[in-house]
Structure formats: C-alpha cells, structure tokens
Amino acid sequence: MEFSEVVRRRRMVRDYDPDRPLPDGLLDRLVDVGLRAPTAGFTQGVSFLILDRDADRDRFWTVTSGDGEPDSWLRGMRTAPGLILLLASADAYLDRYALADKGWTERSVEPWTAPYWFVDAGMAGMAILYAAVDADPQGRIGACFFGVPADRVERVRETFGIPAEQYVVGVVSVGHRAAGERQSGSPRSRRRQPREALVHRGNWRTPKD
C-alpha cells in the first residue's frame, strides 16, 4: 500500500470482529516496526508487552475496568484480539543521557522540556498504528491507541509483572474492523482544525494578530 494511502486510511478503530483472529505473527510484526522507531540518543527505552491470549486480555480488561455494566467503548474494545502495551523507562533515558557523549551528569528530569521517554513511546505507537493499516490490503485491520486510567496502572503492573520504573504509556488494540464499524470518538463531535490554524511559517504569529 502506498504510504499516502496508509496515512489517509488510518483512524482509531474501537469495535472489532470477534470471530476473525489476527494473521499469524501480526502482533510481532507490528512490534518489530515499533522497534524500528527512532529513540532519543538511541536509548531504546521503550518496550512492549503483547497480550495475544484470551486469558491475558481478559485479565487486562478486568483490572482496568470498573464493576458496572460495560459501556459501548468497552464492549467494542474488548473484542480486540490483540493488545500491545507500550512501556517506557525514564531511568533508561536518565542513564543514557548521563553518559559522556551527552553529559547530563545530574541525572535529573528537570532539563527535559519534553521527556523523551514519552516522545519515543509516541513514535513507536504511531509506527505501529500505521503498520496495522499497512498489514491488510483489504483495509479490514485497524488499531486504536488508548490510555490506562491512572488509578488502574498499578494493578496492570502487578498483574503482568511490569517493573515499577516502567511507565504504562498506553495500549494499542488491534483487530479486524467489525461489520458496520464506523468512525467513533472525538472526531465525530470535533472538527479537524483548518491547516492555517496549526501551521505557521517564519513566525508563529499570523498577520491577523
């Protein structure tokens, strides 16, 4: 698929066909793309936890969801046959940037105007989202990046043996789009910003200021 087509087609998919398993090895191939994403200082402090077994995904949804009836978001997302947790280690970046070629010897989060552990997890996540679209010429495979509620992160760590120093940055769900699946979420209620509102050239302030 042309890259421009991948970009055009990509959108978050939140409702999957429960009867269509993923192609063999797809989640690993997606993670391999994530591993090729750039990392600051080549730190490689982003790691991935694949949940491709029903029991593991059930445990994930149990520890991240409330007790009441599942809402439509959760009903849809629970049908995803694959989940990839994106994890990031701040320590890995602090260690890396304290090395001689970087020389940030104080090993502190203070100088990080944009903490690269989160930037890099976003880079990997984006690569995976595009790779999921690219994986299926029929355009049936889709993915969604979503966050884990802050008060559930500790339980996710405990359940899946994730060390305390790892940030659970988010999760990518992957699967075949359900029949009748339509665009959902914020783009249904919010308009895409016009290009001129977000793109500046030469000086951030536009002439109207």
Ligand X SMILES: Cc1cc2nc3c(=O)[nH]c(=O)nc-3n(C[C@H](O)[C@H](O)[C@H](O)COP(=O)(O)O)c2cc1C
* Binding region for ligand X (CB under 6 A): 11-12, 14, 144-147, 185-187
User: 11 or 59, CB closer to ligand X?
Assistant: 11
User: 191 or 208, CB closer to ligand X?
Assistant: 191
User: 79 or 96, CB closer to ligand X?
Assistant: 79
* Structure token pair of residue 84: 């990839």
* Structure token pair of residue 190: 């919010």
User: 135 or 144, CB closer to ligand X?
Assistant: 144
* Shortest Å, Cβ 160 to ligand X: 18
Specify the 3-state DSSP secondary structure of 150: helix
* Shortest Å, Cβ 177 to ligand X: 12
Number of H helices, E strands in the chain: 8, 4
* Shortest Å, Cβ 25 to ligand X: 25
Distance, in Å, from the CA atom of 131 to the CA atom of 31, rounded to the nearest integer, reads 9
Distance, in Å, from the CA atom of 27 to the CA atom of 53, rounded to the nearest integer, reads 12
* Shortest Å, Cβ 186 to ligand X: 4
Task: Specify whether the CB–CB gap between 30 and 144 falls below 8 A.
Answer: no
Q: How many CB atoms lie within 10 A of CB 155?
A: 16
* Shortest Å, Cβ 187 to ligand X: 4
User: 98 or 126, CB closer to ligand X?
Assistant: 126
For the chain, how many residues are written?
209
